[in-house]
Amino acid sequence: MSLGNWSQKYSVNNAIIDEQHKRLMHILFRMELMVNRGKQTDDMVQLLTEMSDYAKEHFKSEERYMERIHYPQLEKHKELHSNYAIQVLQFTLAHLDEAKDNPREVLNFLTHWWTDHILKVDMDYSKHAEKQFVAKL
Ligand SMILES: [Fe+2]
Calpha distance 80→62 (Å, rounded): 12
Whole-number Cα distances in Å, 115 to 42, 78, 108: 26, 17, 11
Amino acid at 49: T
Calpha distance 59→16 (Å, rounded): 12
Give 39 Cα–ligand 1 centroid separation in angstroms.
30
Torsion angle defined by CA atoms of residues 24, 27, 29 and 32, in that order, rounded to the nearest 10 degrees: -130
Give 55 Cα–ligand 1 centroid separation in angstroms.
9
pLDDT in tens, 40-95: 778 888 888 899 899 999 999 999 999 999 999 999 999 999 999 998 888 888 87
C-beta separation of 109 from 84 below 8 A = no
Give 4 Cα–ligand 1 centroid separation in angstroms.
19
Q: Which CATH number fits domain 14-136: 1.10.1740.110, 3.40.50.720, 2.60.120.10, 1.20.120.50?
A: 1.20.120.50
Domains in the chain: boundaries: 14-136
What is the model's pTM?
A: 0.88
Give 136 Cα–ligand 1 centroid separation in angstroms.
25
